[in-house]
Structure formats: C-alpha cells, structure tokens
Amino acid sequence: MNGVCDEEWAGLVADVCEPRPIVSSAKQFTGRIWSVRTDSVNFDGQLIERDILVHLGAVAIIAIDDQDRVLLIRQYRHPVAMALFEPPAGLLDISGESPQVTAARELAEESGYQAASWQVLVDFLNSPGGSSEAIRVYLARGLTPLVGGRAPTGEAEEAYLPRVWVPLEAAKDLVMTGAIGSPSAVCGILAAWAARESGWTNLRPANGPWPVRDLLLAQGRVHSS
C-alpha cells in the first residue's frame, strides 16, 4: 500500500484492532440470530463496499471426562443438510449473561451434564471474511450427570441430541481425517489435544478477558437479540 512494495511483515505477530472509516452503512436484513448490512468503507482513499453478517456470538464446550474422552453430540444442521458431531454449544443471546454462565447452561441443556472445572480453551473468529461471529471454546472437566438427565428444552433439530464419548486421541484423528468438520469441534478438539500435550498448563481462567468480543461490542459488530 501507498507505494510500498515490500510485503514482508516485521512487526508483532498478533491480531490487532485496525478499523477503516465507515462512510455509510445500509441494513439489508435483520433476523433473530444475525443481521446483514452493507458498509461503504474508506480503505486508504479507495471507497469499497463490504457485506457483513453481524452475529450474536457463541460459546462451545469441550467436555472431557476422567477417562480423557470428549463428549460430542449429533445434530442436524440445515444450511449444510448434514448431521454433524459437535461439542455442546450455544448463542450468546441472553443480554447481560456472562459467556461462562452461557456455556454452563448450554452444557446442561444439550448434554445433561455439569462440570466442576472450567477454563478457556481457545477463541476463534468463525468466518472473518464475511461474519463478525466470535466463538469462545471452554474446557469443562469434573463432569457429573444432572439428576433426571437432559431436560426436554429443545425443539426440531434440538429435540433429539444423541451423545457419544470419544477418546481425545481418536477425536483428534477424526478431525485430521476429515470425518468431522464442525468448526467448534475442529478448533476445540485440536486445542484440547495440544493442551493435554502441555499438561493442561497453558490454559486461561474461565472468567478471563475476551478482548475480541469486547472490541466487536464496542464497534457495534454484535447483533442485538
């Protein structure tokens, strides 16, 4: 840019907030989970248009039992017309609820389990080329089943969520062979496998900061439910 031809980066390798000025913005669609808008952006003097899917954000839970098995649930996903094996997960759709509380609620609602130990496993941006969806994946351990099991709280694709326990090493192989491809499963399982290799010593506390979500909220890039 600006006449500079050398495209070798010499700075810090870390994602940073670097917004470009928005000249105008037009709402195209508003739904329950996301909205779509078109921004006219001043990109170093060049006016460009970009469509943005403004998302609520979400959490996912890699729940691992005392045998190092990962809990996955099988759920139909209509956009891809597939039944996917995924970790329990849910939208950040309750105003004022902390992500950790959301995660504990979703683990109970989708699996019928609760956890005594919570840590942040990994954060990721699901599709940053077009969406503002930020996902935090938690590691949950010290699992015990809820009395009475999973409450019948869902409908349609959430009414029946059969679960399976997969050894962490085998779950990693399922990711690497392409047998499972849900982004929360891929990121979460590989992060859990790497964390175990390091003796679980490099994880963040469950209530640790989530700077990316804070930035998205401050910039109006999180959908209002």
Look at the chain and count its residues: 225
Q: Tell me whether strands 58-63 and 134-145 are parallel, antiparallel or unpaired.
A: parallel
- Residue 153 · residue 101 · CB < 8 Å: no
Residue 68, amino acid:
D
Find out whether 41 and 23 touch, Cβ atoms under 8 Å: yes
Q: Which of 7, 110, 158, 197 is catalytic?
A: 158
Active-site residue flag, 8: no
**CA–CA distance, 152 with 138 (Å, rounded to integer):** 24
Q: Tell me the C-alpha distance between 49 and 98, whole Å.
A: 34
Residues catalogued as catalytic: 158
